[in-house]
Amino acid sequence: MEPDASQQLAMYKKMVTSRQYEDAIQGAYFEGKLPNFNMANGPIPGEMHLSSGQEPCAAGVCAHLTNDDYVSATHRAHHIAIAKGVDLERMTAEIFGRVSGLSGGRGGHMHLFDTNVNFMSSGIVGEGIAPAVGAALSFQMRGLPHVAVAFIGEGAANQGAFHESLNLAGLWKVPFVCIIEDNSYGISVDKKRSTAVPRNDVRAAGYNMPGIYIENNDPLSIYAAAGEAIDRARKGGGPSLIEIETFRLTGHFTGDPETYRPEGEKESITKRDALPLMRERMIKNDVAAVADIEAAEQSASETVARAIAFARAAPEPAPEEALNMVFV
């Protein structure tokens, strides 16, 4: 399954939007926190986990999804939210803790819910897998042609919830796909020191589903593999597991000094950044004209600027608003 020219450009545009978004959030996040980085300060308090480098995973998978398809994401969710079509203005307002945010500022960056596009994220590692299996179960029980996708990090594949959920999915043959973004780190611990097998795709065998590993963070291979798995799930062919080699180009959290990385690693993964590589390839293969690419980049930066401006202009919630919405 090869994405055609317009699909490639569309994926690139999602990826660029996502990268520019993370850059903008990073800038806003550091406001008021420096020189003595203190997480409590600035317009965006708390932890911040950016996805720069991992855009192909989100863009390549979500290219096959409709608004009805369900996605659960992790603490590192912005690229997935953008690729899934989450309302970026309301998402940004949420990250800034404003009333116009997705939850009115109750959840923040780690708890993004957009029910219009069936998207959720959460802060506990491995927590989103079972809900995605449950969403898939609902689609199956109701005879709907939708699929559910759980995005997780490679670190989450060592959680009990991963194994229990994949067994359920394999047992019930629900329309579910698990995407593992293998950026080779869970905070400071690299995969070799946390995982008994080098690649998690082999674990799929234990749950009677196909498992594949995609090397090199390549948007086109991701698109192809995800397309096949999602298609199969949609047609009643059951779940799949896909692990993607990807690169986290920033810290685990914003402000992370990244002392755990071996020397030279940052430079070498930056050289493998999928964004410039995809851009070059599209030009070289005549997939898109430079003007079209630049137009996509321009439109991405306008989208991001609008979202940030929307968030900054939105009012802060009234304190007592905290008491509402515990129950509906």
Partner 1 sequence: MTKTTNARKLTISKAMAEALGEAMDSDERVFLMGEDIGKLGGAFGNTAGLYDRFGAKRVRDTPISETGFIGAAVGAAACGMRPVVELMFVDFFGVCMDAIYNLAAKNAYFSGGAQPVPMVLMSAIGGGYGDAGQHSQTLYGTFAHLPGMKVVAPSNAYDAKGLMHAAIKDDNPVIYLFHKALHGLAWLGTTPGSITHTPAEPYEVPLGKAAVLREGSDVTIVGLSWPVHLALAAAEDLAGQGVSAEVIDLRSLVPLDKECVLNSVRKTGRLVVVDDDYQSFGVTGEIIAIAANEAFGSLKAAPQRVAHPDIPVPFARPMEQFALPNKDKIVASVHATL
Binding partner 1 by CB under 8 A: which of 122, 165, 183, 217?
A: 122
Interior/surface letters 176-199, b for 16+ CB within 10 angstroms, e for the rest: bbbbbbbbbbbeeebbeeebeeeb
* 136-175 residues near partner 1, rule: CB under 8 A: 155-156, 158-161
| Residue 108 engages Mg ion in binding (rule: CB under 5 A) | no
Q: How many CB atoms lie within 10 A of CB 325?
A: 10
d(CA 228, CA 264): 36
What are 286's two structure tokens? 């005549």
User: Closest CB to ligand TPP among 196 and 291?
Assistant: 196
Cis peptide preceding 262, ω within 30 of 0: no
Which one of partner 1, ligand TPP, Mg ion, none is in contact with 194 (Cβ closer than 5 to 8 A by kind)?
A: partner 1
Which one of partner 1, Mg ion, ligand TPP, none is in contact with 303 (Cβ closer than 5 to 8 A by kind)?
A: none
| Residue 126 engages Mg ion in binding (rule: CB under 5 A) | no
Length, in residues, of the chain: 328
User: Closest CB to ligand TPP among 80 and 136?
Assistant: 80
Tell me which residue has tokens 């219009």. Answer: 116
User: What minimum distance in Å lies between the beta carbon of 21 and partner 1?
Assistant: 19
d(CA 302, CA 185): 32
Which one of ligand TPP, Mg ion, partner 1, none is in contact with 97 (Cβ closer than 5 to 8 A by kind)?
A: partner 1
User: What minimum distance in Å lies between the beta carbon of 225 and partner 1?
Assistant: 25
* Beta strand spans in the chain (E): 70-73, 113-114, 119-121, 148-153, 176-182, 185-186, 189-190, 211-214, 240-245
User: Closest CB to ligand TPP among 173 and 261?
Assistant: 261
User: What minimum distance in Å lies between the beta carbon of 313 and ligand TPP?
Assistant: 31
User: What minimum distance in Å lies between the beta carbon of 33 and ligand TPP?
Assistant: 20
Residues 183 and 145 sit within 8 Å (Cβ to Cβ): no
User: What minimum distance in Å lies between the beta carbon of 241 and partner 1?
Assistant: 18
User: What minimum distance in Å lies between the beta carbon of 176 and partner 1?
Assistant: 20
| Residue 183 engages Mg ion in binding (rule: CB under 5 A) | yes
